[in-house]
Structure 1
C-alpha cells in the first residue's frame, strides 16, 4: 500500500521527441514499401513500422506518413509491395528515407507482371505483394492492412535492423 501522505510527482508529459527516443530503443526490421501510382510512376518509402497481423489470411500492416505520394498511390491502386531489406541494403534504406525524387533511378528494380509495386531484388531478402484490405488514420500516419497475395524469397541473408537511430545487421546485433 502507498502512504497517502507521500506524494508521487506527476509523470512527465509525452512529447514527440520523448516518444521518438523511446521507440528508438525498440529495434525493428527495415523494409521499403513500394507501389506504382495510377500513371505507373514508381513510389516508395523506407518503413520500420511493419507488423504481422494474421496467418489466415496472411495479413500484415504498415504505417505510412499521411500526405506521402507513396500512401496516395497505395490508396489509389489498392496494392503495395513490401521489400524486406537484408543486411547489405543500408544505402537503399537511407535513400528511400531521404525523399530523393530520383531514388528509383539510383537503384536496380523490376516490376513483374501482377506485382503490386517495384521489387528491389538487389536489396531485399524477401518480397511480398499485398492487396489493401483496411486503412485507419491515427495522427500523422495511416495504418494500411494488406493481405499478402504473393511472397518471394530472394536472398538467404540476415535482415537489416534499425534501432537507437542506427542501422545494423542481425549478426552485429
Structure 2
C-alpha cells in the first residue's frame, strides 16, 4: 500500500466521522484518597485482552475523575442500561453533586462507586498504566472483578443521540 502525506483534518470532520460510530455508554468512577466520589460519562471503553483481563478508557486529563483515578490507582466502569439516559446526561453535565442524584454504593473491593440502578454490569479495575494523548489520558486497567445485574439492554450513543440496543429479532 502506498503511503500518502497526512492532511490536516478539521475538528468538524473528525467529530462527524466519530459520531457515525455507535458505541456503548458507561460511567467511569473513582474515589479520591479522602473518599470523595467522582465520575464521568465515557463512551471510549475498549477491551484490550482476556488474559489477563484488561480494558482501557479514555478520559479528559483535567477532569476530576481522571485526577481521582491517578491518585487512587483504581476505577470502576459502570456499563449503563437503556433506561439510564438521565444518568448518562447527568454524568456528562459537570454537576459537582451528581452522586446526590443517583443510587450508588461501594465496598472494600470496588475500584470506584457502583451505580446500582443505572448499570447492568460493573468492572472494578486497577490502573496498569496511562498514556497522555493530546488533552486526554488513556487509562489501561486490569480488571479484578466483574459484577453483573441480570440481562438488560445496553444504552448506545451515536449520531449525537442515545438509543437502546434493539430487541432481538424473532427466530423462525
Contact 1:119 1:127 in 2 (8 A): yes
Give the superposition deviation at 1:17: 1.9
Q: Tell me, which stretches of 5 or more residues in structure 1 are unaligned?
A: 1-9
Q: Are residues 11 and 145 of structure 1, via their aligned partners in 2, closer, same or farther at CA, if it must alter by over 3 Å?
A: closer
Give the secondary structure class of the aligned counterpart of 2:114.
coil
Q: Of 115, 131, 135, which aligns to 1:136?
A: 131
Please, which of 49, 54, 63 is the counterpart of residue 58 of structure 2? 63
Corresponding residue pairs, total? 164
Is 1:34 matched up with 2:29? yes
TM-score normalized with structure 2 length: 0.91
Q: Is the 8 A contact 1:78 1:132 kept in 2?
A: yes
Q: Is 1:89 equivalent to 2:84 in the alignment?
A: yes
CA distance in 2, matches of 1:151, 1:93: 20
Note if 1:146 corresponds to 2:149. Answer: no
RMSD: 1.6
**108-117 or 58-67, larger mean C-alpha shift:** 108-117
Length-normalised TM-score, structure 1? 0.91
Q: Which of 88, 92, 108 pairs up with 2:103?
A: 108
CA spacing shift, 1:172–1:162, aligned 2, 3 Å: farther
Q: Deviations over 1:37-87 (max 9, x none)?
A: 111000000000000000000000000001111000101110000000011
Q: Alpha-carbon deviation of 1:155?
A: 3.1
- SS, match of residue 84 in structure 1: strand
**2:47 aligned with 1:52:** yes
Runs of 4+ in 1 over 4 A off after TM superposition: none
